[in-house]
Amino acid sequence: MVEDCNIKQFQNNCFRQSKVPGEFMLQLRVPGALIDSKWLSVIQHVCQTWGDGTFHIGPRQTLNAPGIKAKNIPAVNKYIQPYLKAIECDLCGVDMKTDNGYPYIAPRNIMACIGGIHCIKANVNTQHLARELEKIIYPNPYHIKISVSGCPNDCAKAHFQDFGIIGCTKPVYDIDRCIGCGACVRRCEKAATRVLSLNDSHKVDKDTCCCVGCGECVIACPTGAWHRPNKDFYKIIVGGRTGKQYPRMGKMFANWLTEDSVLAIMKNWPRFSDWVLGGKPVYIHGGHLIDRAGYQRFKEFMLDGVKLNPEAMIAESINWTETEYRSNIHVKPLSKHVGVQSKE
């Protein structure tokens, strides 16, 4: 016999309802997807003591314990209190009570790739930004999905989030260190948007309009002629979503933002959500909220009171079509086609 229970309260505590009546799955938030390994013993204990003994890594990088009976949820909430305090309050600076589990499930766990603490491609510290964002969006009754990618490779799938944030860089070119080897040109041609070329002086020219800020030129250069500035930049992609209805890739809302600008913009999201939904939080993708309000109204809300850095660029309008960083990127000489030989 299954006892009556407050499913909505359990869901707010980050317990997902199971297809088995009376069973739930705990989802421990891991903002930025990086924590001290000692905390793995917490989810292990929950799985083995109250769960069914299995462990699931959630698609949004949560630590999940399936098979928890409803009657055991109060005991689980009490046991995970030290984890919530250490991760949410101490590590991320979130202002929340921890004596009765998580207060809300609506803001989903902030995903991130490993970023600048390890990856040679990364332009930014993704965990740092994820934790700064956590204390802005959590706890909050309004649904939002965010991910942070360290570079335009976008391993954290920023293009399929309500807000996808991508670290980028504005490489600085020291012409005196350049030996004209063309390594950066070849790398950009193969891995990025073909914005570099060698001129008659065997120095590098750059088409700045189409640079995505990936930093591949920095990695490829053998002499350090290309280097990253002492300033991190970010893109914000908005309106991406998966699901049974209207899945789509997001589009660029802002480019070349500093961290301060990103955080200032994100602080306006709860107010925008509250306005669109009339103060009644419901589960709905951020992209749908943008569609309801219209992009121009969304832009007004998100930029309200925000002092953008001088380099920042904002989309004047957004057309929800196929994403291409450079028009006709696949149209190139036949000799450059992989696996195709020119007949000339």
Beta carbons within 8 Å of 305's beta carbon, 6+ residues apart: 264, 268
Beta carbons within 8 Å of 141's beta carbon, 6+ residues apart: 104, 106, 281
> Which residue's structure tokens are 């004047």?
316
What is the DSSP secondary-structure string of 226-275?
A: EE--SS-EEEEEES-B-SSS--B--EEEEEEE-HHHHHHHHTTHHHHHHH
**268 is a domain residue:** yes
Count structural domains, the chain.
3
pLDDT tier at 342, thresholds 50, 70, 90: very low
- Domain of residue 138, CATH code: 3.30.413.10
Domain containing 56 equals 7-91
Q: Tokens in use for 215?
A: 């930093």
pLDDT tier at 216, thresholds 50, 70, 90: very high
**112 is a domain residue:** no
**107 is a domain residue:** no
CA 195 to mean position of chain CA atoms: 26
Q: Is 286 exposed, middle or buried (0-12, 13-18, 19+ CB in 10 A)?
A: buried
Please state the rounded mean pLDDT for residues 274-288: 90
pLDDT by residue (tens digit) across 150-164?
A: 999 999 999 999 999
Hey, what's the torsion of the CAs at 69, 75, 76, 81, to 10 degrees? 160
φ, ψ of residue 146 in degrees (nearest 5):
-130, 145
> Which residue's structure tokens are 């290309």?
226
Q: CB–CB of 102/83 below 8 Å?
A: no
**42 is a domain residue:** yes
Whether 202 shows a pLDDT value over 90: the answer reads yes
Question: CB atoms < 10 A from the CB of 1, how many?
Answer: 4
Whether 208 shows a pLDDT value over 70: the answer reads yes
Give the single-character DSSP code of 39: G
Q: CB–CB of 84/98 below 8 Å?
A: yes
- What is the pLDDT at residue 322? 47
pLDDT by residue (tens digit) across 105-133?
A: 999 999 999 999 999 999 999 999 999 99
Rounded to whole angstroms, the Cα distance separating 234 from 165 reads 6
**180 is a domain residue:** yes
**176 is a domain residue:** yes
**116 is a domain residue:** no
Rounded to whole angstroms, the Cα distance separating 40 from 167 reads 28
Q: pTM for the complete prediction? A: 0.91
Q: Is 166 exposed, middle or buried (0-12, 13-18, 19+ CB in 10 A)?
A: buried
Lowest mean pLDDT: which of 94-98, 219-223, 326-330? 326-330
The secondary structure element, H or E, covering residue 64 is strand 63-69
**110 is a domain residue:** no
Rounded to whole angstroms, the Cα distance separating 120 from 117 reads 9
How much of the chain, in percent, has pLDDT values that exceed 90?
Answer: 83
Please state the rounded mean pLDDT for residues 224-233: 96
Q: Are residues 11 and 87 in the same domain?
A: yes
- What is the pLDDT at residue 325? 54
Q: Are residues 224 and 189 in the same domain?
A: yes
Angle between helices 269-276 and 126-137 (to 10 degrees): 40
Rounded to whole angstroms, the Cα distance separating 67 from 89 reads 27
Q: CB–CB of 206/173 below 8 Å?
A: yes
Beta strand 146-149 with 111-112 is parallel
Mark which of 69, 91, 113 sits at the end of a domain.
Answer: 91
